Structure 1
Amino acid sequence: MKIALLQMTSGINPLVNAAVLQEAAAEAAAGGAAMLFTPEMSGLVDRDRARAAAAICDEATDPVLAAVRAAAAEHRLWVQLGSLAIRRADGSLANRSFVIDADGEIRARYDKLHLFDVVLPNGERWQESASYAPGDKAVVVDTPVGPLGLSVCYDLRFPDLFRALSDAGAEVLAIPAAFTPPTGAAHWHVLMRARAIEAAAFVVAAAQTGKHADGRQTYGHSLVVDPWGRVLLDMGETPGLGFVDLDRGVLADVRARLPVLQHRRPIPPVERIA
């Protein structure tokens, strides 16, 4: 099953970003992909909170979501829309991932569970919780590429989530991201490969890359990793579209050779000894 990944440098204008996503959908379909995967915050990357707030909408009025749904229907393509900033009914904001089918219908939604509140060694400060509220559920959805477990960026560092997704039947894990260059250089590849190996699943990680209009920089290196931990695609730092085939025979072979999912047991209480 062929998939496409969009590596992009989203800016502060949602309409410009929507046009990039629509073009990517057309190119993905023309290239024979059954599904397109896009990065975290595909519709808006803007750390100016006041300016960003003016551009964030609810689902019904979000122009990026509408554009991607229309493109999916036009090109008969499934889209894993990495995430958008969405205003909930109660006024709070969600970093929300979507799965859109080939009719343009929303099949699944997932609000990012783990929010990125850190101070990096280079002095960068990020406090995602100052703008966004966390989600309250994990999600697996059936797609043409198999049962797909949803996550977003910083979720990558919490293996319990991916255990829950694979326990629920996920065979492919979507990990769209906007990783910082320091954390990306240190941890991106090793954590993506670890999640694939632990879950005996494919990992598909579409990423933001380069210098954005708001001044931030992101790491790039959109990846596809197979269940054995082999990197099938690494897109480096250049924006664009990448294609890869997911061989379900590899999934079956790995799970037969190393039946880790069958061997999982509930973790007993920890005995702490002083």
Structure 2
Amino acid sequence: MRIALSQITTGPDPARNLAVVRADAHRAADSGARVVAFPEATMACFGTRLAPLAEPLDGPWATGVRRIAEETGVVVVAGMFTPAPDGRVTNTLLATGPGVEAAYDKIHLFDAFGFTESATVAPGSEVVTIDVDGLRIGLATCYDVRFPELFRAHADAGAALTLLPASWGDGPGKREQWELLTRARALDATLWVAAVDQADPVASGREIAPGTPAGIGHSAVIGPDGTVRERLTAGPGLLLAEVDATEVDTIRRTIPVLANRRL
């Protein structure tokens, strides 16, 4: 199955960001993709006051994403913010399109490197997978990549691919960590990992406040053997890749780490 990763730099205006989603979803559909994934915080970038922008899953922004999925016939996965009961928001991935309607709330919050996501974001608790054309896909977000048990949970649920939208914070060694962790999670769970980050805002001509996790680019599709199959650089771009579920079966027979687990 062909998938697309849309590496964009979003701003604080949800309507403008939705227009970018529409344009790249049409590009992905024209290129034969069945799924197009956008980064974490597609609705509005970090560094924005999120609570006033958060909308429920039946609100205008999510409805706009559904219309785009209907227009293109492609499953769209995009990061947004929904209201949480305690006054915070949830960091949500909306997955919508032909035969698909699901939402994943980010489980592991980025309370690290001096940033405290949990101050404004409430954690999720449910593992979520979707099915597209017979391919089961797990959903994860950014900091989740540091927690291999979530990716193994996807594999245990029958997933052959995990989609990982992110808005990865810059800093010393952070690109190396991004590349290491995404490849490691593919190996841990012997599945495909498609990691779509926000483009580096500097490469997109946008200034950000220091310490804001705004993305570094370098989105990638990694095979179940841990090898990078396709990768972008820092700037905006649309990555297209073929995902073969039979390769997962082959790798799991060759390296049966899931079957060999003792803990």
TM-score (normalizing by structure 2): 0.91
CA deviation vs aligned residue, 1:235-260 (integer Å, no higher than 9, x gap): 11110211111122322221221122
Residue 237 of structure 2 is matched in structure 1 by 240
- Offset of 1:92 from its aligned partner? 3.3
Residue 107 of structure 1 is matched in structure 2 by 101
Residue 146 of structure 1 is matched in structure 2 by 135
2:182 is equivalent to residue 188 of structure 1: no
Match of 1:66 among 63, 67, 90: 63
Q: Distance in 1 between matches of 2:153 and 2:242?
A: 25
Matches within 5 A, 1:47-196: 47-49=47-49, 52-63=50-61, 65-81=62-78, 83-88=79-84, 91-102=87-98, 107-119=101-113, 125-144=114-133, 146-182=135-171, 184-196=174-186
Q: Is the 8 A contact 1:35 1:144 kept in 2?
A: no
Q: Is the 8 A contact 2:162 2:193 kept in 1?
A: yes
Q: Distance in 2 between matches of 1:80 and 1:240?
A: 16
- Offset of 1:170 from its aligned partner? 1.4
Greater mean deviation of Cα atoms: 126-135 or 163-172: 163-172
Q: Distance in 1 between matches of 2:6 and 2:174?
A: 18
Residue 270 of structure 1 is matched in structure 2 by none
Stretches of 4+ moved more than 3 A in 1? 88-92, 212-217
Residue 200 of structure 1 is matched in structure 2 by 190
| DSSP-derived class of the 1:206 partner | strand
Which residue type is aligned with residue 189 of structure 1?
Answer: E
CA deviation vs aligned residue, 1:32-81 (integer Å, no higher than 9, x gap): 111101110111004143xx332222222242x22211011111111122
Distance 1:146 1:254, change over 3 A: same
Q: Distance in 2 between matches of 1:70 and 1:232?
A: 31
When the two chains are superposed, the root-mean-square deviation of aligned CA atoms in Å is 1.7
Q: Distance in 2 between matches of 1:181 and 1:89?
A: 31
Match of 1:256 among 234, 253, 262: 253
Q: Distance in 1 between matches of 2:60 and 2:90?
A: 13
Q: Is the 8 A contact 1:11 1:214 kept in 2?
A: no
CA deviation vs aligned residue, 1:204-233 (integer Å, no higher than 9, x gap): 111102224543442110110000111011
CA deviation vs aligned residue, 1:119-172 (integer Å, no higher than 9, x gap): 3xxxxx311011010001111222236111111000100111112221121110
Q: Percent identity?
A: 35
Distance 1:155 1:32, change over 3 A: same
Distance 1:55 1:170, change over 3 A: same
Residue 220 of structure 2 is matched in structure 1 by 223
Distance 1:213 1:73, change over 3 A: farther
- Offset of 1:89 from its aligned partner? 5.3
CA deviation vs aligned residue, 1:186-212 (integer Å, no higher than 9, x gap): 301111111001111000111102224
| DSSP-derived class of the 1:170 partner | coil
Q: Is the 8 A contact 2:51 2:88 kept in 1?
A: no
Structure 1: gaps (5+ residues): 120-124, 268-274
Q: Distance in 2 between matches of 1:196 and 1:48?
A: 32
